[in-house]
Every structure is written in structure tokens, then in C-alpha cells.
Amino acid sequence: MLAALALPGLQAASQTLPEGSISVDYLHYQDSQPGLKRVGVHSPSVQMTMPIAGEWLVELGVVTDHVSGATPHYHTAVSGASRMEDERVGADVKVTRYFGRATASVGLSHSGENDYHSKALSLGGTWSTEDRNTTGGLAFGVSNDTISPVNLAVIGERRHTFEWVATLEQVLTRQDVVKADLSRSEGHGYYSDPYKYVDNRPRERNSTGVLLRWNHAFEGGSALRTSYRWYSDTFGIRAHTLGAEWDRPLAGGWSVTPSVRLYTQSKADFYFDPVYDPRFGPPFPPGYTFGTTALSSADQRLSALGAATLGLKVAYAFGDGWSVYAKGERYRQSAGMRWGGDGSPGLARFDARIWQLGLSKQWP
């Protein structure tokens, strides 16, 4: 849904019809914790943009994710891990009409896997001043999800989400462009994890986010792209993300782009730390009573933690519109990396490696 809501970003002439292109990409993801090689993902995808009649742009995308590995039933305990395997197929289409200094677009997306299906619709538009130095945009999206886990914990549960994004982009100088996004998401329905024990979450989740970006171009063609994101939701999570990447062109059509991203969050209001009940053991929180409907979860994704991602992308342009790239990222997450306060105790360190390869072709 976030992809369907995407608006043109950080480009001086966002109402200029892009060139046609096609790209084929492959992503490999593998995460792990001490003593446990966890989930792996193989994800090929194809994206295409097609300008039509000088006024329309059609964007198409198809992705397949093959997921397998071990996932804990609760928190990060290796002893609670079970094997899982699934495959997801997603597709989206977006049509945009260009009106000189304005655009209007509509997008549809669908994602389906063994136990989860999602459909989304988005509407959006952008407009700019006569000198093209200021661009504003607004987009709305709705999604409907159906959850039917294989363990039959629930059958046909639903989740509905409404989102909007407002954006403002400003060209400051020949070298500097800034952009601000304000987003709001309001959802209700099933948010619990049916594959985790003692996981009962609120049936409503609303969130607000602010994303600030700044691009600076240097003499010689290199560019620095920086970002900061603030996030808050009704689960009680407050998060901050800092990001930076430096795009550096080299001789002979080569370029390198190192990147760094830092993240921190507070815990959800109903998250409990893994000090388990002495009577029942894990994953039950102290004082747990069977049959209780109290809100609670030991999912580490809802804990207080911090994370860092380091990446490097190497690209080569063949000429005649052809290009290829390879990108590697290393992610680490732990309670001790949280900013300005202690993270949740008892969290096992979490690591992930991501590799991407891509081939693309552009044409006028």
C-alpha cells in the first residue's frame, strides 16, 4: 500500500513525463540470531514504466517472495522456533495523467500468500508553481486484508486501513532540494500474530509519521541524500530514523553509493519483557491466567530497541540505456542500540544480510 501511495520525490520537474523503462531485480534476505539461522527470502521482481501519447504513464510491477526458515513462537527463544515455508505473489499497477504542471494518478495492488491476502486502492495528485521550484502533492489509499493462518487460530479475520500522505517539495538552490511528507494511517481489525502464544493486540492501530529529506549535489556529479523520520502510533511506539547515502560517480560508467541508516523505538504499551511466569514457564508473563483477554505480546518487534544498517551499491551504465547494479546491506538490531534509554531486557541480538542484483533498460 505504501508503494501505491508513493508520490514523485526530490526532483525539480516532477511533472515531466519520465522515460520508458524495464528492470529485473533479485533480492536475497537472510536473518539470524545467536544459535539460530532464521528466515530466508528469495525475491525476484519485474518493474516497467510506459509513457503513452506524451500525457500518460503506466507503471507495472510483479514480485514473488519465497520465504522459509525458523521463526520463534514467542520473543527470541530458540527453543520455541518452528519451521515455516510460504510464497507470496504481489502485483501493482499505477496510471498517471500529466497536465503540464500537475498530475493525477490511480493505483491498484494485490498481494496473496497461503494465509494472508491484501488488496489496495490509491488516488493521488501533484501540482507545482510556474517556475517548477515548489511542488505539492496529496494521496489517499485504502486496503483490505484477510488473515487465515494455517494453524486455524482464526479464520477469515479482516483488517481495514485508510491512509493519506501530504507532501511539499522545494528547490532551494541549483544544488539543494528539500522535501517534507506528513502521513496518517488509521486501521481497525485483526493485528495479533496468530503464530505466537500469548499475543493479543488492540483491534485498532492509528499512526502518524513525518519524513524530512534533503538532497545536495556536489561539483563533479556526486550527491548526498539525507533523511529523518519521526513515527508515533496508538500501540505506544515512538520511533526515529536517520538515513544518509552518498552517490559517487566514477570513470567509465561506474558509480558507488555507500549508505547508513540508524533506527530506534520505544516499546508498545502492552509488550512484556521475557521474565516468564515460574509456574508455566515461557512464554507466559508473570501472573498469567489462562483464558485472559488482557492485551499482551512478547513479540520482539514491539520491544524497545535500536538498529543500524550499513549498505553499499555498485552500478555500471553500459550506454544505450542499459545499466546493472549490485547492492549489499548488513543489519543489526539489539536492545543496547536504543537511543536515549535502556532497551527491553532479554532480547537476543538480531542480524540480517540483504543482497540485491538488478538489470534495467531505459528508452525515450
Assigned fold of 89-357: Porin (2.40.160)
C-alpha span between 64 and 45 (Å, rounded): 6
Instruction: Give the residue extent of every domain in the chain.
Output: 89-357
Q: Whole-model pTM? A: 0.93
Instruction: Report yes or no: 15 and 103 within 8 Å, Cβ to Cβ.
Output: yes
pLDDT for residue 143 is more than 60: yes
The number of beta carbons lying within 10 Å of the beta carbon of residue 360 is 17
Please compute the mean of the pLDDT values over residues 339-363 and round it to a whole number: 93
Please compute the mean of the pLDDT values over residues 319-348 and round it to a whole number: 93
C-alpha span between 261 and 277 (Å, rounded): 37
**Percentage of the chain surpassing pLDDT 70?**
94
- Nearest-10 Cα torsion for 298, 300, 302, 305: 130
* 3 state DSSP class of 253: helix
pLDDT band at 173 (very low <50, low <70, confident <90, very high): very high
Please compute the mean of the pLDDT values over residues 70-83 and round it to a whole number: 72
The number of beta carbons lying within 10 Å of the beta carbon of residue 155 is 10
